[in-house]
Structure 1
């Protein structure tokens, strides 16, 4: 997080030197303006956190400057401390009427200045947090309204079930353990603990999937968030490692067949992990155990191409057309659990990076998902 920027507005440069000596080592960035006009120029250039404003200035005094900036919706919440040699109650009332948040008298006392600045910056930080939260709420409402038709369909119908089923498993398992643990054998206790734990994992996956979808939708509304972020921390695991982990979780290690090339894509590491996870989990979910799930990847020209093929009843043309529309497809082999969010997440990630998805049915008992992403060549 960057240091708070404090704008000192005073027609006497020596007064700025005093403030700089008092606040220069407090973790603040100081900007100086010698007039009201310069103050507004600074406000347009920098994200000012607080203003120290001299009252007695030529041309435009501090009271007029304060009134103008408090009349601007973009600057109204910036705290203003009036620095003044005025002592009459009338002058102080004028400062208050102009919107000043606090006063400090000349000559400036260092301890008093530090205390007042710290207090108002804390209030400003709390306001900024509330404003960001309110903006997030507004964006979320817009997002939900935008997708209302889809949410009223399969997603809205599935979400209560997908939450209640694991919750019932958790509550039921814990209830039995609490009531009967004294009469249970260790093996029985272990069985109920495993059932409860698996229900908790399912609830966690459901919640995380919905949060991932929401985050992607919001990022698509904010172009600044579309830039790939550097991966911090330990060295990322490879694409092959990710796939082996998913196969292990699905108890399908023997079914996974891979032929992977190397390429560096223009995509955030976490987004790429989510992309692979969603596609491969679907391939395992919609194919019977013992049937192969084949994964190939290669770099052709300026594109990274990943293909995942699974055996099972293939998707119909109508189902393919509804990909990314919160659609749960009527595929056999298992009771299909989920929100229908998987392919919606995939399509949103690809949209974020100008990628493409193509689903084909090589035969009546197989489905192939192909994704294409732009390459970062020469890295």
Structure 2
């Protein structure tokens, strides 16, 4: 078991008597004290080592305490080091200057031992909590990097056999077969594409969490995007005897976004809707305009989502209500939420009437699109 190190306190004061007083008042506190009689030696020392706390005198020749505090708080490397200003000044204006420079606390001269020890102990506790948090953040970043590396490795290993399955499906379709077997091959091909989409979603989710995914923004025509999605899922809907409906605004709507990722979000939502849709029911994919936003909706007439689960289902690996006949991965909705929020949008689920649920995506509307629609003459150009 490692022995905890003593906190390192730096005292910056040009008066030697004041240094002696601080040492006497803190002598029983088990602190390692370092002394500096001006700003410059301390600025040089701090380039090589960081203290746990600084006791800083306000009135010093050359660079005074307030200016030194300001410099330390503006430096990314030292801004989190707690600073207690030691001052003989008592006016509110002077104390305000200390706080404005970034000081974490101040104490008045003559120093009181009980007060000094209490303030030092309080700020050291906060500094220790900050250091522990930074350690956890560092560990989290390492785990996220490891996850991205693992995802890349798994995806690389899965893509080759999956590509062979899809290629085999295409070859068998080209050779021709009876309707029954053709439908089975089409189901295998569809499942292969779904698996391919899940693999891609896993990688994108890991990159989004680690901040390594850069969106490829472009002007996206939502009418065209919905047409592509409807074309892909129409055959699946027909096999399930589900009526697939689209609702579009009279004029096309546009957003600035990554078309590939937005397409994958709609694929996930529509696939889920069809998965839970009863036979002879209706699933609707709609695009609506509302003020500064564009709204995308996927509506179904299934069992719906219980109110207490409407936030949980967007968390990773939450599967919501368990349905024995349906296998659920629990990553798709988390992926949707992360992509939508990366586009500065929002996603939510609510009841459909008379039954089912509605997944609603709200995205910022493309500014140029709003200008053109607001100016009729622009549409004629």
TM class by smaller structure: 0.3 to 0.5
Which structure has more RCO (C-alpha within 8 Å, separation ≥ 6)?
1
Question: What is the TM-score when the length of structure 2 is the normalising length?
Answer: 0.45
Structure number with bigger Rg: 2
Question: What is the TM-score when the length of structure 1 is the normalising length?
Answer: 0.46
